[in-house]
Structure 1
């Protein structure tokens, strides 16, 4: 009886259509479900059914993958802010719209937002990160600068005033993400928060 032919070892394809996008989508799912510590290029390759070497064509290592994922987050946030922004509105109304948009993004993408802030000073992607951050923080800063030109708020460095606004919004988002507020309560708080940012806490 002739010997049975030896089974060939299982092989995985090297190519996968748009592998870069597939890797980023899979990485984001892992980030949401398990956190960044669980991300592994080898595991992502296995999940996508490609060879363990295939992701190397797009990301040299896990750090490069994390940088790219953070940039995806910044692009997504910028698109949301740009779509929501209404430059013709008075500042209080304009900031309220932008604040609610940011808050919604932060609540829906808590793990991604944490990664975005963690990677924003990453030396290997500093130039790309700076441009991505400008599209997001820049939306608030442009609103502040325009309001100064219209005499709606005090003079001063728009960057510093934007920092005050951004800190307040991120603080509210953090409270919502950690369960201190429900999403509905956080959203309902936005208009009051913007009002106090505009007019302060001193009695008038």
Structure 2
């Protein structure tokens, strides 16, 4: 049965279908021909939006970073102390990574494949959100190096927690506790003191 779509939104339909295929079959199960079949269009139709399979994967990864940035941005805009907002960012990060495990793997693989392309630009937009909040909160006290180390350590902690959840080594509830513990440990560390004001 052909999947209906409105003229002009084929790209969005293809990306939605491709993400569903990614979730079910992983990267190896994604092909433009199968995508066209499942979307109910001619086998050549996807190529009007994605020149090849890699272009499709990059578009998925870029969209993933943009969606993740929306969730992180919402957490950062929550009223309250910066330390609590960073905790909410951690939970948003882990929640997205757990709910979209295959997409997360693709996002970071695609970023490393083309460090100067649109996927990297989308990743930079994501981490710039946190960087800007840290810079504003520090009132200019923290240098760029300290903020960069803080962001990387924070991301590593959140990705590690998400990996433990998706591999079923821990429960999601245990993961929330780890997010809080990791955030507290980082914020009260010497690095945290360099990045955020003591309060």
* Category of TM-score, reference length = shorter chain: 0.7 to 0.9
Aligned length: 185
Contact 1:81 1:102 survives alignment (8 Å) = yes
User: What is the DSSP-based 3-state SS (H/G/I as helix, E as strand, rest coil) of the residue aligned with 1:59?
Assistant: coil
Aligned residue in 2 for 1:20 = 11
Instruction: State whether structure 2 residue 110 is matched by structure 1 residue 119.
Output: yes
- Give TM-score, length-normalised by structure 1: 0.81
Alignment of 1:30-179 (within 5 A): 30-86=21-77, 89-123=80-114, 126-149=116-139, 157=145, 158-179=147-168
Contact 1:121 1:129 survives alignment (8 Å) = no
Tell me which stretches of 4 or more aligned residues in structure 1 moved more than 6 Å: none
Rate the CA distance shift 1:72–1:106 in 2: closer, same or farther, 3 A: same
Rate the CA distance shift 1:56–1:193 in 2: closer, same or farther, 3 A: same
Contact 2:75 2:85 survives alignment (8 Å) = no
Rate the CA distance shift 1:51–1:87 in 2: closer, same or farther, 3 A: closer
Q: By how many angstroms is 1:146 displaced?
A: 2.8
Unaligned runs of 5+ in 2: 191-199
Contact 2:32 2:43 survives alignment (8 Å) = yes
Q: By how many angstroms is 1:155 displaced?
A: 5.2
Rate the CA distance shift 1:168–1:51 in 2: closer, same or farther, 3 A: same
Aligned partners of 1:95 and 1:16: how far apart in 2? 40
| Bigger proportion of residues as helix | 2
- Give TM-score, length-normalised by structure 2: 0.83
In angstroms, what is the RMSD of aligned CA positions?
A: 2.3
Contact 2:111 2:120 survives alignment (8 Å) = yes
Q: By how many angstroms is 1:32 displaced?
A: 0.3
User: What is the DSSP-based 3-state SS (H/G/I as helix, E as strand, rest coil) of the residue aligned with 1:119?
Assistant: helix
Rate the CA distance shift 1:19–1:89 in 2: closer, same or farther, 3 A: same
